[in-house]
Structure 1
Amino acid sequence: MNTDDLSWQAGSYGGVHPRKVDLLLEHGHLDLVIRAARERDEWFCAERAARELCRSGQFVQAVEVIEPFAATGWRPALSEKADVLLRAGRTDEALDLVRPDEEARTSPYACRDFAELLVRAGRVDEAIDLLVPHLGGWWIRSALVDITAGQGRDERVLELIAPYAESARRALEKDRLQVSDQGELVLQARMLERMGRAAEAISALGADIAARRYGTQNTLTAYAELLSRHGRFDALRELATAEHARTVLHVFAGALRDYGRPEEAETVMREAIAADDWVGYRAWLSAVLLEDGRLDDAITVAEPGFSWYDCSNLLAPLVHELFDRPEELLHLLDHPLTVPHHGHEEFQHAWRAFALARLGRAEEAVAVVEAHPAPYEDPRMARADLLVAAGRLADAATELRNLGTIDAREALFEVLVKQGRAAEAMATHPTVAEQRAARQQAAEAATPSVPAREDGYSLEPPF
């Protein structure tokens, strides 16, 4: 075990993926997870095994699982061990394990992580003091607000961030286009609301909006959401139906639904579409119509956006919401208004195959893939996935075994666990070393060899 391999696992989801570890735990295989951590140096197994042991009060065992990883000095493992010690009531040991030295205290990242641990240990004032030297960074101010929620220090936190909000106001008033609006005004309003001073928060942020003292649309959205939470419908309607409609109309419509006025919300959005046929309005309305079980209405609303480019395409969002409703997914794909996804027609075939498989029609699903193999890097893997979706686990396992690739072995793991063969699944799963070598080989194969200049840049596009 070494920190390089551990960092690769954490950064690349190498080894046994967290989702797969969770699957093992769901099936009651904690012992197998612990063994994989010990024998295969599987970081995600160690991490989740330690947390599972803590949940059942087995703190000594949790420390034993995580200790070999922490012994490498790898920061995430040390943090995980500190978490276990803290849960076990060994507060001083936990804090001493990861306490930043003088050099580390110059790092806002190290201080932020340690401050969160201090708050959990009940040492809130110490955590605040640790962050004060770093409050020049907006994200540290945001972190301060986050970690002190419910800790009885709101007055002090508000005092600390207030000067930054006032400074932002002065700068935005001078030239809002040249100032980087980092959310200072929203952060202050959030604190006021948290302290039970919502009216003051609304007044202050509303004045900023009226005076155009904001730099990003996030401030507008935050103000609209603040109005929504406190039932200020008149002010919210005024904000949402004027020049800022595209930014906040969905907040107003959502508030109407939340307060039991869905018909009014639908009317508001349909009127907006009639006046300004913007994709955002159609996206919101089609989503809520689908949520209400009105698939045909959702299709009609979204249909003008079915053939647009990726970021504005409205077909995929409907499809994704119907993955667990295969009959309705097929209805959508067969609907006369549904057209191929612009530039990505092949995905329609993939969606159809998946829906057929979920309905148990595996042969038809496989036939679709064989006729349209386009989006699949390996159609054989796709066939195995469809067999799994159809509930034919034994056939899927056979397909994956015959393939025998690293990817196939990774997929076979989940099939075997679902079949009740968890030990075999772990033995089949590729090791970290095997995965790493395979991914490196794939990366090298995907990198074209092109002539380079003396400075290392390519002589051919892309430069």
Structure 2
Amino acid sequence: MNVDDLEWQRTHNGRVLTQLVDSLVEHGCLDLLVETARERGDWACAQAAVRGLSAQGEWERAWEVIAPFAATGWRPAVRAGADVLLGLGRTSQALDLVRPQDGDEDGYDAWRDYAEVLVGAGRVDEAVDVFAARLWDMRMLWALVEVTEERGHDERVLELLTPIAEEVRRDPEQPRARALWAAPSAQSRVLERSGRADEALRLRAEDVVADRGWPSDTVDDYAKLLARHGRLEELRELATGPARYNAVRPYVAALEAAGRFDEAEDYLRGLIAATPYPGNYESRLMELLMRQGRTEDALQVVEHTFDDLYDGNLLQAAMILLAEQGRHDRALEIAAQRSPEYLTENEKFWIRDNRWWLMGESGRCREATAEVEALPEGEVDDRELTIAWLLAQDGRLDDAIARLRPLPGIRAATDLAGLLVRQGKYAEALSVIPDVATRREEERRFWTDRAQQTEPAGGL
């Protein structure tokens, strides 16, 4: 186990392996994950095991799992180890473990971790001191806000933030202000949570009016602040004024939350009529109408884009929304109705994959499988994986597993592992995932082969 392997795992495991080990925790496989973490140095297994053991109050076992990982000095493992030590009541050891070293390359992460452990130990004043000495970094500024939430230190935080926010407002073009341009937003958040929402609203309103050339987040921040406090009239003025673009979504959401659906619809239709390229507004109106169950009205808003060969096409967005409502057949129908030109351009690119997915979700697995199998093997990316998924959707797990077993690559392995979990074969599910050394060697061979394939033939 070393830092390089651990960092590689973090960037290559992805969500799939995390979902796999989390499902094993749900099935009570903590002992299996503990053993796999110990034997293979697998970070995904170690994380899941530590979370599960900690949730059960088994802090000593959690420390046995995380200690070898933390000993490498790798920052995520060090942070997780410190949390376990806090759970054990070994505060001094936790702080010693996570304390930044001179020349620490992960400066921000290291100091934030240290401050968070201080907070976890109940030493909030010391954590604030850590941030106070480093507020030239925007990330530290936001970390101060986040780490101190609900810790009873808002006045102290405001003492630090307010001078910086005022400096940014006075001269937004100077280098320090450019680096800390979100200080007014951070100040606003702390004012709001400390019960001073009116002051936060006043300052944000002044920021919008002043238009100091800050990013559009200023308008978005103010709009959301208005919405949270039910200030719909002021929000309407913002959403219909010159800075409206970043206030549209909060305004529509606020109207919808208040049950004022007709107003939200009329507002969006007005924007669509007044905008030369209204795709974003059409998309939001479609979503609004879909949420109200007005499926055909929603489709009518956007169907004129469905044969567009450019970026304004909302066909896939409509298909996904229909699928979320369980309207798989309707999604398939609108895809099939496309012009020959559009289908020629997009059939292989994305439509047929989406069609097979929709057919699988709607119980037409065998029909979809037949379509895939009728195509030449080189014609479909991930052909075998697609067929295996359709077989599993059809309840034919053994057939799907048999299809996946001979396939190379981590995606096939994780799909196979997921099916084995469904059959209760938990140990086998983990065993089919290649270890880190094997996966790294596979990746090295892949890139070597690719480089050789792209080398020009012959010499100079």
Q: What's 1:366 paired with?
A: 369
1:162 equivalent in alignment to 2:155: no
State the Cα distance separating 1:337 from its structure 2 match. Answer: 6.3
* Residue aligning to 2:400: 396
Q: C-alpha separation between the residues in 2 aligned to 1:324 and 1:388?
A: 20
Summarize the alignment of residues 286-435 of structure 1 with structure 2, pairs less than 5 Å apart.
286-308=286-308, 312-323=312-323, 325-326=325-326, 328-335=327-334, 340=342, 343-346=345-348, 347-371=350-374, 376-403=380-407, 406-435=410-439
Instruction: Compute the displacement of 1:376 (Å).
Output: 4.5
Superimposed CA distance per residue, residues 108-135 of structure 1 (whole angstroms, 9 cap, x where no aligned partner) = 3311121111112111110111112210
Q: Structure 2 vs 1, CA of residues 124 and 180 (structure 1 numbering), >3 Å: closer, same or farther?
A: closer
Q: Deviations over 1:213-240 (max 9, x none)?
A: 2411111111111111112122111111
CA contact (8 A) 2:207 2:218 kept: no
Q: Which has the higher mean CA deviation after the structures are superposed, 112-121 or 334-343?
A: 334-343
- 2:395 and 2:28 map into 1 onto residues whose CA distance is 21
| Alignment size in residue pairs | 450
- Deviations along 1:47-85, one digit per CA (max 9) or x if unpaired, are 110110010111111111112222333332222111111
Instruction: Tell me which residue corresponds to 1:454.
Output: none
Q: Does the CA contact (< 8 Å) of 2:323 and 2:331 recur in 1?
A: no
Report the AA paired with residue 202 of structure 1: L
Match of 2:240 in 1: 241
Q: Which moved more, 1:200-209 or 1:428-437?
A: 428-437
Structure 1 segment 59-208 matched on structure 2, within 5 A: 59-104=59-104, 107-172=107-172, 182-208=181-207
TM-score of the aligned structures, taking structure 2 as reference length:
0.90
CA shift in 2, pair 1:130/1:341, >3 Å? farther
* 2:283 alignment counterpart: 283
SS class of match (1:131): helix
SS at match of 2:181: coil
> CA offset at residue 450 of structure 1?
4.4
TM-score by length of 1: 0.89
Q: Is the 8 A contact 1:315 1:341 kept in 2?
A: no
Identical pairs, percent: 41
1:368 and 1:286 mapped to 2: Cα distance?
31
Q: 1:359 to 1:15 in 2, by over 3 A?
A: closer
State the shift of 1:305 in Å.
Answer: 3.4
* Structure 1 unaligned residues grouped into runs of 5+: 452-458
Counterpart of 2:171 in 1: which secondary structure?
helix
Tell me: CA distance 1:370–1:243, structure 2 relative to 1, closer, same or farther (3 Å).
farther
Residues 1:260 and 2:227 are matched in the alignment: no
Against the structure 1 CA distance between its residues 338 and 301, is the aligned structure 2 distance closer, same or farther, given a 3 Å change threshold? farther
Matched to 1:258, the amino acid is: A
- State yes or no: 1:436 paired with 2:440: yes
The amino acid across from 1:138 in the alignment is: M
Structure 2: gaps (5+ residues): none
Whether contact under 8 Å (1:349, 1:368) holds in the other structure is: no
Aligned to 1:445, which of 436, 446, 449? 449
Measured against aligned partners, the alpha-carbon deviations of 1:185-212 in whole angstroms (never above 9, x if no partner) come to: 2122112112211111111111121121
Q: Is the 2:138–2:179 Cα contact (8 Å) retained in structure 1?
A: no
Give a deviation string over 1:379-409, Cα, whole Å, max 9, x none. Answer: 1111112222333211100111243555433
Alpha-carbon contact 1:51-1:84 (below 8 Å) kept: no
Q: CA deviation at 1:19?
A: 1.1
Structure-1 residue corresponding to 2:5 = 5
* Contact 2:328–2:361 (CA under 8 A) maintained in structure 1: no
CA distance in structure 2 between the aligned counterparts of 1:321 and 1:298, rounded to whole angstroms: 10
